[in-house]
Amino acid sequence: MIKKLLLGVIVAFLTFITKQTRGQTSAADTSEQRIAMERISDAYNTAIGLQSRLYNGPEYEPYNPAIKGNAYFQDINKFTSGTITYDGLFFKDVPIMYDLNKDVVVVLLYNKFSMYTLLNERVERFDLLNHHFVNIMSDSLHTNTGIDAGFYDELYHGNVDVLAKYSKSIQTNSGSNALETYFSQRKSFYLKKGNNYYSISGQGALLDILKDKRKELQQYIKTRKIKYRKAPEDAMVAIVGRYDELSR
């Protein structure tokens, strides 16, 4: 039965590739291709069952419960259904936690009990809690880029990309009676323009990078009453989106 399913998947894949090479270029065709590929991946995953490529990686060791807080994205320390592109294949409805301290994706094994860590070099992207994360590999970075390899929340994707990096670290405080260990969180923002990455410390730094449209963007910020300090993510997305419109 498994062999028949795999054969069917292979035939469907070859049919898809053949159609893809016949010059389909419209947005509708691209959407249909994406849906077709996801269906092929679903069929493949069903066919190979427990032998799925997703089920590999080292065992995940939980943290000491005495540490205050947790290491996970949005402080959610339970598995949430998400999608992931891993080892070249697309998987959906995957139980995921994103560990910000280790910068790894944690997945629940098919037995619904064992936890393991996906290999970072095989993770292309994943979606979790309405956020889209992309993996920036070290071999894709130039020297002195100002950005480290790892997973980044893609807030906006266009001619210029807006990225957010979330991280947590374990800190120790000396209290009156005993040491207190806790997780501390940090958030950083970046712009990708061309092949270069820029760290964004505020609205001024953002406009410096987009200086060819500075006057128009300043007017846009004033008209729309954009408050960067109050909501930096929303402000960056709005400003960069406007920059893309002006650059067309």
Distance, CA of 122 to chain centre: 13
Q: What is the pLDDT of residues 202-231, one digit of tens each?
A: 999 999 999 999 999 999 999 999 999 999
What are the contacts of 143-151 at 24+ separation with CB within 8 A?
Answer: 145/196, 145/197, 146/190, 146/197, 146/198, 146/199, 147/190, 147/197, 147/199, 150/103, 150/120, 151/98, 151/103, 151/105, 151/120, 151/123, 151/126
The backbone region for 119, taken as left when phi is positive above 0, alpha when psi lies in -120 to 50, beta otherwise, is: beta
Give CA–CA dist 194/85, Å, rounded.
Answer: 24
As a dihedral over the C-alpha atoms of residue 52, residue 130, residue 168, residue 156, rounded to 10 degrees, the angle is: 110
**In the prediction, which pLDDT does 3 show?**
41
Give CA–CA dist 239/203, Å, rounded.
Answer: 9
List the strands of the sheet with 89-99, edge to edge. Answer: 115-117, 104-108, 89-99, 80-86, 123-128, 131-136, 150-156, 160-174, 179-193, 196-200
Regions of the chain short of the pLDDT cut 70: 1-31, 33-51, 140, 142-145, 175-176
**In the prediction, which pLDDT does 46 show?**
58
Give CA–CA dist 244/171, Å, rounded.
Answer: 40
> pTM score, two decimals?
0.79
Q: Which residues contact 151 (CB under 8 A, 6 or more apart)?
A: 98, 103, 105, 120, 123, 126, 133, 134, 135, 136
**In the prediction, which pLDDT does 9 show?**
44
**In the prediction, which pLDDT does 77 show?**
93
Q: Which residues contact 156 (CB under 8 A, 6 or more apart)?
A: 162, 236, 237, 240, 241
**In the prediction, which pLDDT does 174 show?**
72
The backbone region for 162, taken as left when phi is positive above 0, alpha when psi lies in -120 to 50, beta otherwise, is: beta
**In the prediction, which pLDDT does 105 show?**
97
